[in-house]
């Protein structure tokens, strides 16, 4: 179920260094928001705070709040693992688990979180997720082949299937196409359009054309200079 994201007075630090300052943004469900801005302005840093992924970096911490349909992801006692189940992340470089088959890759996140499943449930999740990632027809006859045997574009859609399999409310993407060729990029962009009907999507991109093609809203970040914090300058309809 797609959820609204409310970010209030968010500051993000790496130890003492203030990397991102004073972000306020309301992101509506069933929309795609593109994060745009120069290198180093804090796009990835901000993105990672939306599922507490920044916490894997020692010393990284936040002030302010991030709410999903009014629920604070940073309230005391909230388990970051549960947050990451609700808010999935797709990375720049497709990262299928190298020792796993296509099928095992799709199920990897589900098993990590939920433990055992009946084989018939697994089959249903694998098919539904791969269909959801527009990959089913291409791989249905080779599900037991290594995930790494797929092309780069297919691997990225496999990683999207792995994220979708966990049934999140929000999907974050950090430059998901920057390592892909133009045809694979279009396939992933088409997929983003389709995913929008079920998820709230936030995507970091360096590419204004891509922002125009895939997003409803654009969040412009900027930075006043080296050592200064990145800031959200404007949040507007994508033109």
Residues that bind ligand ADP (CB under 6 A): 14, 17, 19, 37, 39-45, 57, 230
Residue 59 or 114: the one with the smaller Cβ distance to ligand ADP is: 59
Half-sphere exposure of 112 (CA within 13 A, CB side): 15
Residue 133 or 219: the one with the smaller Cβ distance to ligand ADP is: 219
- Report, in Å, the least distance between residue 61 CB and ligand ADP: 12
DSSP-derived secondary structure letter, 86: H
Residue 187 or 232: the one with the smaller Cβ distance to ligand ADP is: 232
- Report, in Å, the least distance between residue 178 CB and ligand ADP: 8
- Report, in Å, the least distance between residue 62 CB and ligand ADP: 13
Residue 49 or 155: the one with the smaller Cβ distance to ligand ADP is: 49
Secondary structure of residue 34 in the 3-state scheme: strand
Which among 57, 55, 50, 165 is positioned nearest to 105, based on CA atoms? 165
Which residue, chain included where needed, has tokens 């709230």? 200
Task: Locate all alpha helices (DSSP H) within the chain, ordered by sequence.
Answer: 43-49, 80-86, 102-114, 119-132, 136-139, 152-165, 182-195, 208-214
Residue 17 or 152: the one with the smaller Cβ distance to ligand ADP is: 17
Where is 11: in which H helix or E strand? strand 5-14
DSSP-derived secondary structure letter, 93: S
Which among 49, 75, 15, 27 is positioned nearest to 219, based on CA atoms? 27
Task: State how far the Cα of 139 lies from the Cα of 148, in Å rounded to an integer.
Answer: 12
Residue 42 or 168: the one with the smaller Cβ distance to ligand ADP is: 42
Q: The dihedral of CA 1, 179, 212, 183: what is its sign?
A: negative
């Amino acid at each position: 179920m797609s959820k609204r994201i409310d970010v209030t007075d968010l500051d993000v630090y790496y130890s003492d260094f203030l990397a991102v300052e004073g972000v306020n943004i309301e992101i509506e469900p069933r929309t795609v928001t593109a994060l745009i801005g120069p290198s180093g302005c804090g796009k990835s840093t901000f993105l990672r705070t939306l599922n507490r992924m920044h916490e894997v970096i020692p010393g990284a911490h936040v002030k302010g709040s991030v709410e999903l349909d009014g629920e604070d992801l940073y309230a005391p006692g909230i388990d970051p693992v549960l947050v990451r189940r609700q808010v999935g992340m797709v990375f720049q470089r497709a990262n299928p688990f190298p020792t796993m088959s296509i099928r095992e890759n799709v199920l990897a996140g589900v098993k990590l979180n939920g433990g055992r499943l009946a084989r018939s449930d697994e089959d249903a999740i694998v098919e539904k997720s791969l269909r959801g990632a527009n990959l089913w027809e291409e791989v249905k006859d080779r599900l037991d082949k290594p995930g790494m045997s797929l092309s780069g574009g297919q691997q990225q859609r496999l990683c999207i299937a792995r994220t979708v399999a966990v049934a999140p409310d929000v999907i974050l993407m950090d430059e998901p196409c920057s390592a892909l060729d133009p045809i694979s990029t279009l396939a992933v962009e088409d997929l983003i359009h389709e995913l929008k009907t079920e998820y709230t999507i936030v995507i970091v991109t360096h590419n204004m054309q891509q922002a125009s093609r895939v997003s409803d809203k654009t969040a412009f970040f900027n930075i006043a200079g080296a050592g200064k914090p990145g800031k959200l300058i404007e949040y507007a309809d994508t033109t």
